[in-house]
Amino acid sequence: MALILIATLGLVTACSATGGRPRSNGSEGGGGGVDTPRYTVAMISHGAPGDTFWDLVRAGAEDAAKKNNLELRYSSSPQAPEQANLVQNAIDSKVDGIAVTMPTVEAIGPAAKKAAEADIPVVGLNAGMDRYKDYGMDRYKDYGLSAFFGQDESIAGERAGERLDKDGAKHVLCVIHEQGNTSQESRCGGIKDGAKGAKVETIYVNGMDLTNVQSTLQAKLSQDKTIDYIMGLVAPVALVGVKAAQAAGSDAKVATFDTNAELVEAIRNGDVQFAVDQQPYLQGYMAIDALWLAKRNGSTVGGGQAVLTGPSFVDKSNVDTIADAAKEGLR
């Protein structure tokens, strides 16, 4: 009887509480990754060469691909027509999934829709979800994207504006480094809405030429001494803004959207007041993870709604929390 009882208990504990198959003890398979079929996925962004933000997005995508036994093909172009061509190239090569940014929805959305119509799972990240003015929060849905990972740029801008207002800003210079990028327009528009006690002025620069960015900002600050805050929309531009203010003899403070390792140090030493963080590593990771889930069992993440990765603030009070990860290229 004792032997029968032991055998019965052993059988029970080998099953899950719901009667399913036993859980794996994690000892099988490929070194911490999955043993599912090898799929090929593409990520096409509008990242410009040298923009460290996209290094973080790509790092997250690569980690998710490694974990999920995926081949990741990453490509980018800051020019909307070329980015649309890269999406078409991914369709032609018959990839198993596509993650795409849509800073210019009308130019890139139709190519993304072609992929969805060809039964290729497509998800969006970073750009393509805008609420400001004529841009609806759900625009990505119009082009067949099943999920979106990022932040609502209008809301992020409004929160940044409220922070600037609280800090006593009176004249904010919002620096758009990619003309025609609706996400950046939404950020500056949100700042205007949030910074009710400040004048918010927009200036356009070429973010791919940081030397020119510095000279343009320096000239503007020398001309107008009332500017007391520079709001960059990406870390490298903000860091150049610090140099421009120093060269112009301006007392303007600097804040920004997004982080990198150098920006973290600038917050630590007080050169940059704060950063609005949308967690680019997380955006890349979740986008690729969602494509694997779509192939694995037809899952959709977020129930068709955007999965928000920001905004949050990084300043002197919490910068040490992400400092080590920033040095490793993960924040």
DSSP designation for 125: E
Mean pLDDT of the chain: 88
In this structure, CATH architecture of domain 39-151+280-310: 3-Layer(aba) Sandwich (3.40)
Over residues 120-179, the pLDDT tens digits come to: 999 999 998 765 345 445 778 889 999 999 998 999 999 999 999 999 999 999 999 998
Residue 33 has pLDDT above 80, yes or no: no
The Cα 324–Cα 77 span in angstroms is: 30
Sheet of 97-100, strand order: 70-76, 39-45, 97-100, 122-125, 148-150, 307-308
Least confident window among 96-100, 181-185, 242-246: 181-185
Residue 27 has pLDDT above 80, yes or no: no
Which of 278, 132, 272 lies closest to 194 in space, CA to CA?
A: 132
Which burial class, exposed, middle or buried, applies to 193 when counting CB atoms under 10 A from its CB (0-12, 13-18, 19+)? middle
pLDDT above 70 coverage of the chain, percent: 88
Distance of CA 306 to the CA centre of its chain: 13
Residue 20 has pLDDT above 50, yes or no: no
Phi then psi for 55, rounded to 5 degrees? -65, -35
List the end-to-end C-alpha distance of the chain, in Å, as a whole number: 60
- Topology alike, domains 39-151+280-310 and 153-277: yes
Residue 74 has pLDDT above 70, yes or no: yes
Tokens at 273, concatenated: 């007041």
Looking at per-residue pLDDT, the higher value among 19 and 130 belongs to 130
Q: Does domain 153-277 have CATH number 3.40.50.2300?
A: yes
pLDDT recorded at residue 32:
52
Count of Cβ atoms closer than 10 Å to residue 138 Cβ: 13
Tokens at 55, concatenated: 């290094």
| Structural domain boundaries in the chain | 39-151+280-310, 153-277
